[in-house]
């Protein structure tokens, strides 16, 4: 079984709940999350390109202000990196 949390706080909450239920991480349940903050060096994470996210958001905002087109939706897909650590069992 796997759990993927949307942020670090949810990952920590999920891990506490898993342990309280008597399950083991990663033997019974693997846990991964977004962000890859430095205070969680054991958690498997999807590392987001934070600098690029900020720059792209600024570009989109600036373009909307200049063109005054507030109704056009913009979809941006940026690469992420999966950093596998001790909270996930690696299946080969």
* Residue with more model confidence, 22 or 2: 22
pLDDT of res. 39: 63
Measured CA distances, 2 to 10, 16, 21, 41, 92 (Å): 14, 15, 15, 19, 15
Question: What is the predicted pLDDT for the residue at 67?
Answer: 78
Report the C-alpha gap between 7 and 23 in whole angstroms.
21
Give the mean pLDDT of the chain: 86
pLDDT of residue 27: 92
- Residue 44 — pLDDT band, cuts 50, 70, 90? confident
User: For residue range 23-38, what is the model confidence (pLDDT) as tens digits?
Assistant: 999 999 999 888 777 6
Say which residues have a Cβ less than 8 Å from residue 43's Cβ, sequence separation at least 6.
8, 11, 31, 32, 33, 36, 85, 86, 87
Segment 85-89 mean pLDDT: 86
Give the domain ranges of the chain: 2-83
């Amino acid at each position: 079984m796997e759990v993927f949390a949307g942020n670090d706080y949810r990952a920590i909450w999920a891990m506490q709940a898993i342990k309280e239920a008597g399950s083991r991480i990663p033997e019974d349940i693997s846990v991964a999350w977004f962000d890859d903050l430095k205070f969680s060096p054991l958690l498997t994470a999807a590392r987001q390109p934070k600098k690029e996210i900020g720059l792209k958001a600024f570009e989109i905002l600036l373009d909307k202000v200049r063109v005054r087109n507030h109704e056009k939706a913009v979809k941006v897909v940026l690469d992420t990196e999966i950093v596998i650590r001790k909270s996930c069992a690696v299946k080969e």
